Amino acid sequence: MSDIPVDLKYAKSHEWVRVSGGVATVGITDHAQHELTDVVFVELPAVGRQVKAGEACAVVESVKTASDIYSPVSGEITEINKAAVDNPALVNTEPYKNGWFFKIKLSNPAELNTLMTPEQYGAQIGG
């Protein structure tokens, strides 16, 4: 069964968002890492880049495929997770902790209301 933490918000494209003080941390869900398995490479956006909600801004590669990661919210990339770049397996083992991808300073916090609740995401993945 997929792990879906209750304190996060979710995007249809399987990213999660944790918000603290106007900054959103973004990663991919347990369901997504389980579908991918074997993450071998993570490509993250440059710090300082402006992203729009829904924009593809990172890539996660498994042995078999490359998958785009879409920013769930708009804003400026303030930090990226070098640990995930150096050790891509973290995305599989700790998708909600040390396998996070990037942090965004929110330019439009109202967008958070368009994201899914844990229950809605759970329904989407058929949990």
List the end-to-end C-alpha distance of the chain, in Å, as a whole number. Answer: 7
CB of 15 to another protein, least distance (A): 19
94-113 residues in contact with another protein (CB under 8 A) are none
Q: How many CA atoms lie within 13 A of 21 on its CB side?
A: 1
Tokens of 113: 């209301």
Does position 79 interact with another protein (CB under 8 A)? The reply is no
Applying CB under 8 A, which part among 46-54, 60-68, 101-109, 112-120 lies near another protein? 60-68
Q: Candidates 62, 67, 74, 81: give the one binding another protein (CB under 8 A).
A: 62
Residue 113 sits at the vertex; the CA angle it makes with 28 and 6, to the nearest 5 degrees, is 50
Work out whether 41 is an interface residue with another protein (CB under 8 A): yes
